[in-house]
């Protein structure tokens, strides 16, 4: 039988606490290896730090800052793989105090900071998210970082395999982007190219998605839950019924009624579903959404972590037939003060995936609520 645990990841140093999380990924040294979590945070020193697992123990590493700059906002983190048998390499995208995009990335032997700049004549306001795009299953992965600029337009900073580009994705017709929601990728089948989907919330509290059909970009109005405007993002994932099926996007949001809703694609049409809230509670903030697989041939099952108005952690999860709310509670003698990140871990390519939800407590430590198989 498996069980949930709380673990104190502490903080970068005794003098520097965790201010906010910047993104989380899992790393694999080779395709048969165990996944290893890397959680990027902004410390109270406005520097980037990473809490990472080497396979036996956790470590904190100071990633520093771009030269002469400080880190102010997250965009997200991904791993990049140069080929199917290559090591995964983390990339953490951040916004700095000059309102430009920077990336802290691992080349396989050392870390680098790269100045991605900003679209011509514009400043980067905030991040929407980061994904890796692949032209086919044997191709190198290519990062795409979506941001909102100071004129409230969506832009993407993307790698074509040899150089970086900025592309203006514009805005939904006759609307202004007010806040980010998240990004994911879609594959129509296991041998297809990946197609980015970037979700945003407009000034009228509706969800829109900017998506790539394989030849051109589109804006689609996803609307809002019946009678309930969208307040803010919770997380975006892709769900798959089996390893050979089409991937299907799920965008989780919080309504102004402080309840959870999901906009999801069933393979033929989009739907809105009301997920509600934990019994007797309202949702205060979100931690993130992940998908779970019980084995490599299984369907994926969404897990959505949120913080309740009692400052406790809750998860809304799918068992394959029905949705459930479960109370994850809080770290011992601590209060959850700020949201973090969520990811899944796999001990080997044939193992069951295991959720990890990271939060920041009232003492500015990073904590993780994680599922063990034992």
Can you spell out the DSSP letters for 268-281? SSEEEEEEE-STT-
pLDDT given at position 284: 97
pLDDT for residue 1 is more than 80: no
* Number of domains present in the structure of the chain: 1
**pLDDT tens-digit profile of 224-276?**
999 999 999 999 999 999 999 999 999 999 999 999 999 999 999 999 999 99
What separation in angstroms does the CA of 11 have from each of 14, 134, 367?
A: 7, 35, 9
Q: Across-strand partners of 147?
A: 127, 155
Q: How far is CA 234 from the centre of its chain?
A: 10
Is residue 277 within 8 A of residue 286, CB to CB? The reply is no
If DSSP states are collapsed to H, E and C, what string results for 9-47?
EECCCCCCCEEEEEEEEEECCCCCCCCEEEEEEEECCCC
Read out DSSP for 196-228?
EEEEEEETTS-EEEEEE-SS-EEEEEEE-STT-
- Mean pLDDT throughout 290-306? 95
Q: What is residue 356's predicted lDDT score, i.e. its pLDDT?
A: 98
Q: Residue 217 and residue 196: Cα distance in Å, rounded?
A: 9
Neighbours of 189 (CB within 10 A): 9
Position 152 pLDDT exceeds 90: yes
**What rounded mean pLDDT belongs to the chain?**
97
| Residue 11 binned pLDDT confidence (cut-offs 50, 70, 90) | very high
Provide mean pLDDT across the span 359-374. Answer: 96
pTM tops 0.85, yes or no: yes
Domain housing 268: 3-372
Tens-digit pLDDT profile for residues 169-212: 999 999 999 999 999 999 999 899 999 999 999 999 999 999 99
CATH code of the domain covering residue 168: 2.120.10.70
Strands 18-27 and 36-43: antiparallel
End-to-end CA distance of the chain: 6
Length of the chain: 374
The Cα–Cα gap between 232 and 256 comes to 8
The pLDDT of residue 374 is 84
> Is residue 87 a contact partner of residue 74, using CB atoms and an 8 Å limit?
no
Mean pLDDT of the 61-86 span: 96
Say if CB 261 and CB 269 are below 8 A apart. Answer: no
35 falls in which pLDDT band (50, 70, 90)?
A: very high
**How many CB atoms within 10 Å of residue 322?**
7
Helix/strand number for the chain, H first, E second: 0, 28
DSSP 297-309: TSPEEEEEEEEET
Task: Please state, in angstroms and as integers, the Cα–Cα distance from residue 72 to each residue in 6, 56, 94, 234, 280, following that order.
Answer: 28, 32, 7, 21, 35
The pLDDT of residue 60: 98
- pLDDT tens-place string over residues 311-347: 999 999 999 999 999 999 999 999 999 999 999 999 9
């Amino acid at each position: 039988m498996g069980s949930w645990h709380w673990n104190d990841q502490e903080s970068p140093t005794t003098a520097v606490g965790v201010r906010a999380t910047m993104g989380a990924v899992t790393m694999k040294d080779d395709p048969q290896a165990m996944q290893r979590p890397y959680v990027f945070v902004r410390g109270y020193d406005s520097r980037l730090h990473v809490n990472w697992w080497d396979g036996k123990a956790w470590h904190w590493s100071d990633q520093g800052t771009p030269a002469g700059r400080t880190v102010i906002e997250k965009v997200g983190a991904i791993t990049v793989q140069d080929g199917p048998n290559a090591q995964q390499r983390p990339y953490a995208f951040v916004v700095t105090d000059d309102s430009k995009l920077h990336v802290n990335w691992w080349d396989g032997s050392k870390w680098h900071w790269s100045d991605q700049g900003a679209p011509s004549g514009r400043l980067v306001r905030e991040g929407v998210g980061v994904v890796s795009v692949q032209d086919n299953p044997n191709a190198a992965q290519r990062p795409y970082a979506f941001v909102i600029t100071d004129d409230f337009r969506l832009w993407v900073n993307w790698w074509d395999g040899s150089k970086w580009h900025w592309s203006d994705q514009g805005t939904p017709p006759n609307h202004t982007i007010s806040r980010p929601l998240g990004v994911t990728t879609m594959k129509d089948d296991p041998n297809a190219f990946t197609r980015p989907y970037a979700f945003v919330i407009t000034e009228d509290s509706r969800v829109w998605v900017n998506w790539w059909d394989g030849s051109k970009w589109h804006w689609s109005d996803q609307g809002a839950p019946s009678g309930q405007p969208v307040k803010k993002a919770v997380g975006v994932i892709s769900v798959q019924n089996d390893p050979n099926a089409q991937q299907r996007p799920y965008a989780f949001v919080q309504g102004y009624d402080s309840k959870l809703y999901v906009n999801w694609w069933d393979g033929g049409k989009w739907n809105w579903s009301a997920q509600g809230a934990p019994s007797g509670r309202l949702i205060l903030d979100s931690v993130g959404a992940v998908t779970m697989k019980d084995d490599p041939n299984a369907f994926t099952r969404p897990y959505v972590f949120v913080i309740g108005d009692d400052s406790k952690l809750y998860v809304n999860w799918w068992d394959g037939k029905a949705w459930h709310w479960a109370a994850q509670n809080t770290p011992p003698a601590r209060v959850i003060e700020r949201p973090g990140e969520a990811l899944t871990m796999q001990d080997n390519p044939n193992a069951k995936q295991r959720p990890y939800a990271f939060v920041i407590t009232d003492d500015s430590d990073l904590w993780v609520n994680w599922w063990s198989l034992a």
